[in-house]
Structure formats: C-alpha cells, structure tokens
Structure 1
Amino acid sequence: MKALICPALGPAETLIVTEVERPVAGPGEVVVDIVYAALNFFDTLIIEGKYQLKPEPPFSPAGEFAGRVAEIGAGVTGFAVGDRVMGSTGFGAAREAIAIAANRLAHVPAGLALDKAAGLSIAYGTTLHALKQRAEMKPGESLVVLGASGGVGLAAVEIGKAMGARVIACASSDDKLAFARGYGATETINYATEDFRARLKALTGGKGVDVVYDPVGGPLTELALRSLAWKGRLLVIGFASGEIPKPPLNLTLLKGCDIRGVYWGDFVAREPEANRDNMSQLLSWAESGALQVHVHAIFPIERRLEAFQAISRRQALGKVLLQLGTDV
C-alpha cells in the first residue's frame, strides 16, 4: 500500500511516497482504510523534529483521519467491517491503512461527510477541551481568538459561537477576518494594521476580555494578557509564530487572571471518559451544522508539498486534507 514517509528529519521537500506493508489488526485493534488524513500546523514541525512529540524516522505524518473499518482484531466490540470511523493518533495517518486501538476511534454519523470528520478530532478536540475543561467558559463571556482563520483558530471561532460566547476574531489580513465572520465571529481585529490593545479595550467597554485562545505565541501573547479582564483566562495552545513568549507574571497578580496550558494529547490519555463526551458533542454539532469544519483543500499525497506549504505559509483557511482512498 502507499504511504507518505518522512525518511529523515527535514522540511516537507524531503517527504516521499513509497510502498509499505499493509498492517494487520492485533488484539484490541482495528485496521482502517483511510480516505482522508488531516494535516495540522504541528505536522510542519514534527517532520523537522521541532515538536514535543518526536517519532524516530521513518514515519508518516498526519495525526487524524477518517475512513472505513477493514479488519477487526481479537477482543474488539462495537465496530463492524465497513463502518465509517474517525480517529486520532500522534502521527502515522498519511497512509492508505492504519492499525489503531479501537478506543481511539469514533463512529461517523450518517449525516456527516468523511472529509469533515477527518479534521474533527485534533483541532476541534483540542479547542473544546480548551474552552470547556480549561477555560470553563460560560455563555455570554467574551472570547478572543488569535490566528482565527487557521485550523485551530477557526475551530475556536465555531465552538465559541456554539457555546454562546461573544467571539472576537483576530488575524493578520482583512480577507482572513471576513472569512472568520462567516463562521461566527461577532467582531474582528486586524493585528497587522490596528492597535490591538486599544481595539480590545473599546470592544469590551474597558472591562477587558474573559478568555483568550492563543495558538500563535510571540509578542501577541503579552498584549493579550494585558487585555484580560479580572479573573480572565489566557489559554496556551501553541506557538505558530515560532516564538515562545515570556510574559511578566506580575500581570497575573494584578489582574487576578490565569495562564492555562492546553495539552489535548495528555487529556485524552488521562481523562478518556471526558474526551469521549467531548467527541460526542463535537459529532453532534458537526452533524447538525452548528460546526461547519471548513475544508480549505484536499490534496492527493503526490501533491504533499503543496499541502504542507498551504499551512506553513499561512495560506490555509480551515483544514488541509490528504486523500488516500475513494470517498464512496
């Protein structure tokens, strides 16, 4: 079978498409014929050894996918050959089939397309965990989303709206902000051309914002922290800017505010029941249309460089997918 392989750590140009042995389902495992694998920003880092998860080459990138059950291992219940499923793994999904523990899978409801399901596990799973378990966000609170047009940013806009927040989308161009408005943002800020703090102060009547969702890092983090309301929460999602910020901690004292880390991978392992509840909620929202899970583009694995460049060059609006099988 075909697989996209990272033969040695390096940029996306070094990725190759090659033939590998088809997996067999072990005890507790399911083999899934993958139709779509979703790429995230961390995939641009993991192939260069710059992410906290550091698999040894050779390996396949892509941490989430959707497809159909092809084989069921001993002891597995609740799945049948042909079932449409979605799942997540730290890496390894950019291949035509994968063997994975059954408890890492969820059924895709009949009303949800596989391309939408493929990008639901990680970006949307991370975001619901961030806003629900970490921020404990309440309806009516203000939510600032940095990098609002990317994969996780757009997830935060959509989920924030679904949870009843007043969503303020922030991005580096007016086109990206217009896109975010179409998915639920109430207000927008272009942080390349506007005074970020002054706009947040004006939009909140001087109160400050309740929750900041920050997948960007860099200098924006401190500006966002300074813009928090009393008992506000800044969620650390990632560092797409390439810079890990070092904000002055006296701000947390003066504002009675929190900086809260979000590590969805460990949440899944440590609190599986809570994660399953989150996945059920996401699937329900997606099937009903409350979440649109916008797909920016679908690429065959032979065009993997274009897929990676769409993410690394900040061109992607929503999810970027690799197509590995036939969607019938």
Structure 2
Amino acid sequence: MKAVVVRQFGLQNAQISEVASPTLTEDGIRIRVRSSGVSFANLLVIEGKHQNRWEPPFTPGTEVAGVVLECGPAVTLFKPGDRVVAGVRHGGFAEEVVAPQHNVFALPAAVDFDAAVHFPTIYATAYGALKWRAQLQPQETLLVHGAAGGSGLAAIEIGKKLGARVIASSSTEPKLRVAEEHGADVLINYKQGGFRDAVLAATDGRGGDVIFDPVGGGTFDESLRCIAPDGRIIPMGFAGGTIPSVPANILLVKNITVIGIYWGYYMGWGRQSPPASTEAKVRAAFAELLGWVAAGDLRPRTHKAYALADFQEALSALSTQSVIGRSALHP
C-alpha cells in the first residue's frame, strides 16, 4: 500500500512510499482509508516537536474515515463493509490502517468521510473540554480564540449546542465571518487593539465564563485579564509558539480554574489506560456528536481535500494561517 513515511524528522524528509499493509491485531479493524484529517499536530509530530513523539521511520496521521475491510477475531461491533471513523496514534496518512475496536466508531450514512475526520480529535476534544471538563452551562459566555481554525469552529458549534453565548476572536474579517456562519454571537478582530476591552464591553465588564484557547502565549496572558470570576480557561494548544506560565496570584484573586484536557487519555493513548467505563462514555459522546452532524446541528468545514501525494502542500498551508476549518487527504 501507499503511505507517507517519515524517515528523518522534518516535513522535507517525508515522502510517499510503498509499504506493507499493517498487521491485523486480535481486536483490530482494518480500514480502507477514504479520508484522513490534516492538523497542526501532525506537522509537529513530523517535525519531532509534539509531546507524542514517534521515532522514525513512521507514518503520521491520527484521524481517519473509511470502510472496514477486515476484523480481528475479538471484534464484536463491526463487520467488513461498515462505514467508520477512527482515531489512531499514528499511521493515518496511508491507504490502510488498523485501529483497535475501542477507537472505531460507526459513521452514519448522512455524514461524509471528509466531515467525519473532524471528529476523532478536534470535535471530540472540544466536546470533552466544554461539556465534561469545564461543564459549560446555558447562558454562560464562551470566548473562543483561533475561531476560524478547526478547533475554534468546533468549540463555537459545540458551545452553541450547549446553550452558551459565544464570542469569537480571530485575526481577519473573513475568518470572523466564517465564525459567525458557524454560530458566533460576538466577533472580535484582535489585530485591532487586542481583545480584552472588547470582551469586557460585550459582557458588561464581567468577562468570559469559559475561555477556549488553542493559541497560547500572549493570547493566554490577555485572556486572564478578561475572564469572569469563577471562570475556567482551557489551554488547548500553543499554535502561537509559546507555552504560557500561569501566575498563581491571578488564579487566587479571581477564583480562576485552569483546565487541562488530553483527549488521548480517553482514547487509551496515555501512559496509563483509562478505566473500562471510559470506553462507554466515549462511544456515547461520538454517537451524540455524529448524531448532531447528521441532523445538521454541526457543520464541519473542510477547507480543501488533497490527494495523498500532495501531503506536503496540505501541511505547509497550515503554517500560512490560511486554512479555515480543516483540510483532508484522500489516499
């Protein structure tokens, strides 16, 4: 089969190669990949800069959708021919992948493959962060940074589904228009003087109850200056390039909670496996999320679909900040 292989860290060192199909495991499901999600995390993994580090040679890619080809003897939930979406630790930039059953989810006929690959990490993480960890409540104010990126649009849509008022922060007017199309109530162009004053003005001086921050750096620091008392801030990533430090005195005087979330823990990718009950919780979350998209309540935005051979172009585009939503690869 064809796959992207990283033999040395660096995007320029990755190439399409002919490799053996992955071995089917006892609880494994062999999937013919129809679409694979392209994310900034993939780029960091290829560069050797992600916390989940794989030593070369390896095939990147963590979000896939496609059709079941073959099932291991311990598989009970799926059969060949089923449409599925799956999260994998790596190996998704390929024509085939083998995923353990607990990381594979049924894909409704109403959800296409490109839309599906938004869910194994991006929408699932936003769901876990806002519903499980931050316990976002109806009528609370949710501030979303990086609002036109894949993570930002997912947070906007899930925040609205949970009943929140959503403030979107982004760098250009076209990006803010997209955020508005996906449900944002208030739009802030942070290039025009930051966002602190605009957030406070939009909330009568109270600030955001929950802040979803995939940017980090100075964005996180400024967020602490416009967060509501008893507010919760979720550092989702560090696309800005700098990991912020948290001043404990500000947490103390404003009763702020900083919430971490690593979705891989719920998928069983951490150093310690989650309890067995977590699989049922995750499967119920995916059923709810994919039900929402099938009903038209969530609208994952695919920026562009690339052939697998054009993976370098797809990943390079992420560095230009021109991608709105997510891109996909078609092996």
Q: TM-score range by the shorter chain?
A: over 0.9
1:291 and 1:26 map into 2 onto residues whose CA distance is 34
Contact 1:138 1:164 in 2 (8 A): yes
- Cα shift at 1:31: 0.5
Q: Which amino acid aligns with 2:146?
A: G
Residue 177 of structure 1: SS of its match in structure 2? Answer: helix
Instruction: Give the match for residue 146 of structure 1.
Output: 145
Q: Which amino acid aligns with 1:302?
A: A
1:286 and 1:13 map into 2 onto residues whose CA distance is 36
Instruction: Give the match for residue 263 of structure 1.
Output: 262
1:304 aligns with 2:311: yes
1:194 and 1:84 map into 2 onto residues whose CA distance is 47
2:23 and 2:80 map into 1 onto residues whose CA distance is 14
- Cα shift at 1:104: 0.8
1:132 and 1:24 map into 2 onto residues whose CA distance is 36
- Cα shift at 1:302: 1.2
Contact 1:298 1:321 in 2 (8 A): yes
**What is the CA deviation profile of residues 86-127 of structure 1, one whole-angstrom value per residue up to 9, with x for unaligned ones?**
000122100000111111100101111111112211100110
276, 298, 321: which one aligns with 1:314: 321
Written as runs of structure 1 = structure 2, the 5 A alignment for 1:65-76 is 65-76=64-75
Contact 1:65 1:119 in 2 (8 A): no
Residue 199 of structure 1: SS of its match in structure 2? Answer: helix
Instruction: Give the match for residue 104 of structure 1.
Output: 103
- Count of aligned pairs between the two proteins: 323
Instruction: Give the match for residue 113 of structure 1.
Output: 112
2:231 and 2:220 map into 1 onto residues whose CA distance is 14
Residue 46 of structure 1: SS of its match in structure 2? Answer: helix
1:121 and 1:29 map into 2 onto residues whose CA distance is 17
- Cα shift at 1:238: 0.6
1:283 aligns with 2:282: no
Q: Which amino acid aligns with 1:8?
A: Q
- Cα shift at 1:209: 1.0
Q: Which amino acid aligns with 1:292?
A: R
1:58 and 1:9 map into 2 onto residues whose CA distance is 9
Q: Which amino acid aligns with 1:307?
A: A
Contact 2:102 2:279 in 1 (8 A): no
1:252 and 1:273 map into 2 onto residues whose CA distance is 34
- Mean Cα displacement is larger for which, 96-105 or 268-277? 268-277
Contact 2:61 2:91 in 1 (8 A): yes
- Cα shift at 1:268: 2.7
Q: Which amino acid aligns with 1:5?
A: V
- Mean Cα displacement is larger for which, 304-313 or 124-133? 304-313
Written as runs of structure 1 = structure 2, the 5 A alignment for 1:4-19 is 4-10=4-10, 12-19=11-18
Contact 1:148 1:169 in 2 (8 A): yes
- Cα shift at 1:274: 2.0
- Mean Cα displacement is larger for which, 179-188 or 303-312? 303-312
Q: Which amino acid aligns with 1:35?
A: R
- Cα shift at 1:277: 1.9
1:54 and 1:236 map into 2 onto residues whose CA distance is 20
Instruction: Give the match for residue 208 of structure 2.
Output: 209
2:226 and 2:293 map into 1 onto residues whose CA distance is 32
Instruction: Give the match for residue 132 of structure 2.
Output: 133
- Cα shift at 1:280: 1.2
1:292 aligns with 2:299: yes
1:292 and 1:173 map into 2 onto residues whose CA distance is 21
Residue 277 of structure 1: SS of its match in structure 2? Answer: helix
Instruction: Give the match for residue 271 of structure 2.
Output: none
- Cα shift at 1:194: 3.0
Written as runs of structure 1 = structure 2, the 5 A alignment for 1:84-99 is 84-99=83-98
Residue 282 of structure 1: SS of its match in structure 2? Answer: helix
TM-score (structure 1 length as normaliser): 0.96
Q: Which amino acid aligns with 1:81?
A: P
Instruction: Give the match for residue 53 of structure 1.
Output: 52
